[in-house]
């Protein structure tokens, strides 16, 4: 066991209106105080996700804890495991990832059916329990994700949320090789990973976003069609024209606005699948019921992923089929990162160095 300090640096949110406060003297839970099943992880790095911004603002119907240490895309080394932990799948010294789903009961019907992330007793990293914007994080041995040696910590960080979220949505989209999938927000943190997972699955990608940088990124990553939503006169027509006149087989909507969902019903072909992923706080889905029924469209909610989805998403990245484009910043830059996220200025992902 390495020397574990008594205090650490963390970024803490006291209230929805207070600025983020970086402190150097926040207590570290000591090994002897860990409950069975808990582990202490010394963080190497952590990604920053749009969800962290919602946690900071408290603008979702499900409210976060206060005060809160945010963050849920962390990679680090296990430095201690609670006494009397039985059958731990990980050990001290293992490099692991901490995801949005920190813990679940694993025994309710929801968990047994593979929807661990929707468990009524789920703990959510950086939301209902303290997260990864800290040098040491308490997590749970049954839920941390082992990180393969072939994957750098900074590379793995964003796979743990952005990656697994889009991977699961594509996995359950009922598409097959050669099908068209539309990805609104394709140049963003989730979107640029979705382009790559879709390509790895043999899908053909229509990327929707705006700006020269995002266009270049999406086309480089394998999108066949680019549509700039600020330049397009008719997005639905452009998508149909690009897909042989019929429309796409699926859409994975990661944007946090209702318009992205409504439009999908129009550009999906008969039998199309709308994968609802983005989480706007108050918006409603005002899709045409007539055409949803008439075209046999399926609308499927897809919420992050379970433990197996996470391992699969990480494995695909470790084999070099998906690469996260990111910049590394210090923890002290978190406030600026939030500002840029809110303005939609970030292409790819931001990872904070916690060492």
CATH number at residue 15: 3.90.180.10
Whether residue 341 lies inside any domain: the answer is: yes
Provide mean pLDDT across the span 252-281.
89
Q: Are residues 285 and 214 in the same domain?
A: yes
Tell me if 350 sits within 8 A of 192, measured CB to CB: no
Q: Are residues 35 and 108 in the same domain?
A: yes
8 A C-beta contact, residue 159 and residue 313:
yes
CA distance 232 to 215: 14
For the stretch 138-189, pLDDT in tens is 999 999 999 999 999 999 999 999 999 999 999 999 999 999 999 999 988 8
Looking at the chain, the whole-number percentage of residues with pLDDT higher than 70 is 99
Handedness of CA 244, 247, 251, 253 (dihedral sign): positive
Q: What is the pLDDT of residues 204-217, one digit of tens each?
A: 999 999 999 899 99
Q: What span, in angstroms and rounded, lies between the C-alpha atoms of 103 and 92? A: 19
Rg of the chain (C-alpha set)? 20
Report yes or no: 306 and 330 within 8 Å, Cβ to Cβ.
no
Same domain, 201 and 274: yes
Q: Do 193 and 149 belong together in one domain?
A: no
In a domain? residue 167: no
Secondary structure (3-state) at 344? coil
Q: What is the pLDDT of residue 347?
A: 67
**Are 100 and 128 members of one domain?**
yes
Preceding peptide of 67 cis, ω within 30° = yes
Helix (H) or strand (E) holding 199: helix 189-200
Residues 146 and 226 grouped into a single domain: no
Average pLDDT, the chain: 94
In a shared domain, residues 130 and 255: no
Question: Does residue 147 lie within any of the structural domains?
Answer: yes
Domain assignment present for 114: yes
257 and 134 belong to one structural domain: no
Taking the C-alpha atoms of residue 228 and residue 335, their distance in angstroms, rounded to an integer, is: 29
Domain that residue 231 falls in = 173-301
Is 153 in the same domain as 33?
A: yes
Write down the pTM of the prediction.
0.93
Summarize pLDDT for 305-342 with one digit per residue, the tens: 999 999 999 999 999 999 998 999 999 999 999 888 88
Same domain, 60 and 125: yes
Question: Cα separations (Å) of 305 from 130, 162, 163, 164, 169?
Answer: 20, 10, 10, 6, 9
pLDDT at 85 > cutoff 70: yes
Structural domains counted in the chain: 2
């Amino acid at each position: 066991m390495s020397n574990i300090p008594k205090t650490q640096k963390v970024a803490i949110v006291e209230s929805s209106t207070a600025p983020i406060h970086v402190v150097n003297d926040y207590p570290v839970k000591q090994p002897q105080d860990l409950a069975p099943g808990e582990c202490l992880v010394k963080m190497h790095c952590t990604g920053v996700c749009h969800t962290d911004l919602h946690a900071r603002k408290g603008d979702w119907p499900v409210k976060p804890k206060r005060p809160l240490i945010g963050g849920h895309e962390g990679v680090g080394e296990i430095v201690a495991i609670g006494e009397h932990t039985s059958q731990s799948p990980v050990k001290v010294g293992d490099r692991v990832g901490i995801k949005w789903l920190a813990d679940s009961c694993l025994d309710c019907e929801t968990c047994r059916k593979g929807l661990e992330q929707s468990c009524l007793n789920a703990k959510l990293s950086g939301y209902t329990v303290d997260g990864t914007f800290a040098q040491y994080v308490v997590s749970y041995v049954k839920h941390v994700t082992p990180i393969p040696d072939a994957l750098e910590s900074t590379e793995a960080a964003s796979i743990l949320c952005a990656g697994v979220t889009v991977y699961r949505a594509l996995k359950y989209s009922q598409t097959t090789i050669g099908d068209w999938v539309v990805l609104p927000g394709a140049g963003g943190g989730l979107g640029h990973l979705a382009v790559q997972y879709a390509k790895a699955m043999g899908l053909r990608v229509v990327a929707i976003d705006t700006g020269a940088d995002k266009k270049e990124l999406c086309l480089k990553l394998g999108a066949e069609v680019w549509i700039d939503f600020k330049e397009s006169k008719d997005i639905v027509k452009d998508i149909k024209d690009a897909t042989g006149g019929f429309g796409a087989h699926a859409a994975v909507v990661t944007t946090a606005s209702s318009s992205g969902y409504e439009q999908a019903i129009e550009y999906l072909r008969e039998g199309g699948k709308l994968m609802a992923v983005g989480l706007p706080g108050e918006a409603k889905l005002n899709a045409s019921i007539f055409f949803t029924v008439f075209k046999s469209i399926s609308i499927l909610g897809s919420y992050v992923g379970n433990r197996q989805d996470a391992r699969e998403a990480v494995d695909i990245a470790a084999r070099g089929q998906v690469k996260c484009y990111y910049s590394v910043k210090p923890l002290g830059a978190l406030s600026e990162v939030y500002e840029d996220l809110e303005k939609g200025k970030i292409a790819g992902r931001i990872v904070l160095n916690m060492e």
